[in-house]
Structure formats: structure tokens, C-alpha cells
Structure 1
Amino acid sequence: MDPRTATEALIRRYYDAFNAGDVDAMAACLSPDVAHDVNQGGRRVGIDRFREFCAHMARCYRERLDAMTVMASADGQRAAAEFTVSGEYLATDAGLPPAAGQTYRLPAGAFFEVRDGRIARVTTYYNLADWTAQVAAKAGGGGG
């Protein structure tokens, strides 16, 4: 398998595991020293920190990614993914509007660095103002 195809398959495995709620399978795609950069947040380094983040996310949000497009460089060392996040806000996250089961849908993307067949860096981006407006508009009314 050429490097581009291998990297695209790796990224798809990572996101298939995300959609399945399988943190172990996601972690298996990562380098032990993975750098995980989250939109509007700090960098977390290492699989343990990644797992902590996933536990926090599972407590506060239920999300599914669809309309996935994955692209990789010819050498397989860089990749990008674009997708749509469909979610439900389950528990209030610090510094964000109160959670009341609001649903949301927004475009997002991520950039990856791949080393030795594993994800060494993942950086995720989405429009926080769009998300905030969606959940604030539905606050008190529940769901979407």
C-alpha cells in the first residue's frame, strides 16, 4: 500500500473508532507521544492525556461525525479531514453555556502528522461561535 493510501486508511480507522465510541481503538492509531491540539484549547501530549480528554468529552457530549473527506500528502506524513459534527450537549462544560440536551450540527476539520504508521499530531478546528449560538438558542427548550 502506498504511503498516501495507508495514511488515509489510518485516519479513517481513527474516525471509525470515534464514531463507535471506542477510545482503545482510537488510541491504537496514535503515537505514544501524540500531540493533541483542540480548538480553542491547549496542547495535550501523550496517550494518557488523550484518554483523559476523551473521558471528559464523553461525559459532556455525544457526537457523531459524517460527510467525512480525508486527504493525505503523497509521502503519507501529513493529512487532513473535513467532516460534519452532529452532537448532543449532555453536561455543562466549564466556561460554556449550560447543557440541557441541546443538539448541534457544525462543520469541522482536523490536520494530522503521521510518523511510523501512527498519528503523531492531531489538531482539530471548528467554529466555537457557531456551536455556542446553536446551544444557547436551544437552552431551556431542550433538544433540537
Structure 2
Amino acid sequence: MPAATHALLNRFYAACNAGDIVAVLDLLAADVVHDINQGGRESGRMAFGSFLQRSGRCYRERIDVLEIMTNADGSRAAVEYRVDGEYLATDIGLPPAAGQRYRLSGGAFFEIRRGRITRITDYYSLSDWLAQLVA
């Protein structure tokens, strides 16, 4: 099962990088839970699709240098990654966007059930990101 989880998460990040929201949503359980970095919790594919749409308007990001770790049965995983991005449009509650570029280390935790992602918990340093915007 760990190999299947590795393949699933590689497909997830490839679809995210391609901006293919339909492909991303196809990898998620209908009741997926998304813990937003230093924010709230949303549930369901529709909520995650809305999150991706807003993110696509505000940011151009590429997530790479993936290090995927799983438990023995592949039901849980952690991914460390690097984000190279550009802040395109001002996001709610954040500083004004002016095309600032940034590079961050980040991570995510996943739960997997029957070949679909049931939980995504994202983390990156918001203070590091904000510091890069004004540098």
C-alpha cells in the first residue's frame, strides 16, 4: 500500500502544478477534510475546489522536491516539499499583491482511504512568506 499512496500523492501534486482542478478533485474522497495552513478547517470536495480556484487567482505556484513518507499500510502520509511561487492578486486579509516571488519549504499530512485522499493538513511558515513579500 505505501507504493499506491506514493503514486496517489505524486498524481495529486502533478495535478496541482498543472492547475487541473478536476484531476485534483478526482483524487479526493467526497468528504475530504482540508486543514488550511494556520487557518480553519473545510470539508468536502466542493470546498476544496473553491480553495483551489481562489489560490489559482491569487498565486502561481510550483510544488516540487517532494519527499513522501508513509506508514506501513499507506493510510497516512507526510510530504515535505518546496514551493516556488508568485503572488498575483491580493488574497483576503493579506498584504497587497504586486507579483512578488517567494520560495518556501512546506509540508502536508494526509489520510488515505480506499485509494482516495480523506484529509489534507497543510503547513508552511506564514511569517517567512510575509517577510519575502516585503523584502
Whether TM exceeds 0.5 here: the answer is: yes
Shift in Å, 1:71: 1.1
Alpha carbon RMSD of aligned pairs, Å?
Answer: 0.7
Residues 1:109 and 2:107 are matched in the alignment: yes
Q: Does 1:53 align with 2:66?
A: no
Q: Distance in 2 between matches of 1:38 and 1:95?
A: 14
User: Of the candidates 5, 28, 42, which is equivalent to residue 3 of structure 2?
Assistant: 5
Which residue number corresponds to residue 36 of structure 2? 38
**Match of 2:89, SS?**
coil
Structure 1 unpaired stretches of 5+: 138-144
Identity %, equivalent residues? 58
CA contact (8 A) 1:97 1:136 kept: no
Aligned partner (choices 2, 23, 26) of residue 25 of structure 1: 23
Q: Secondary structure of 2:65's partner? A: strand
Residue of 63, 66, 71 corresponding to 1:65: 63
> What SS does the aligned partner of 1:96 have?
coil
**2: CA distance between counterparts of 1:63 and 1:118?**
23
Unaligned runs of 5+ in 2: none
Query: 1:72 Cα deviation (Å)?
Result: 1.0
Corresponding residue for residue 87 of structure 2 = 89
* Distance in 2 (alpha carbons) for counterparts of 1:72 and 1:22: 25
Q: What is the SS of the residue equivalent to 1:59?
A: helix
Q: Is 1:80 matched up with 2:82? A: no
Q: What corresponds to 1:119 in structure 2?
A: 117
Cα distance between partner residues in 2 of 1:7 and 1:109:
16
Could you say which residue in structure 1 is the equivalent of 2:131? 133
Q: Deviations over 1:55-102 (max 9, x none)?
A: 110111000011111111111110011110000000111221110000
How many residue pairs get aligned? The number is: 135
TM-score in terms of structure 1 length: 0.92
| Larger Rg belongs to | 1
Question: TM-score by structure 2 length?
Answer: 0.98
Helix, strand or coil: the match of 1:56?
helix
Find runs of 4+ consecutive structure 1 residues off by over 2 angstroms.
none
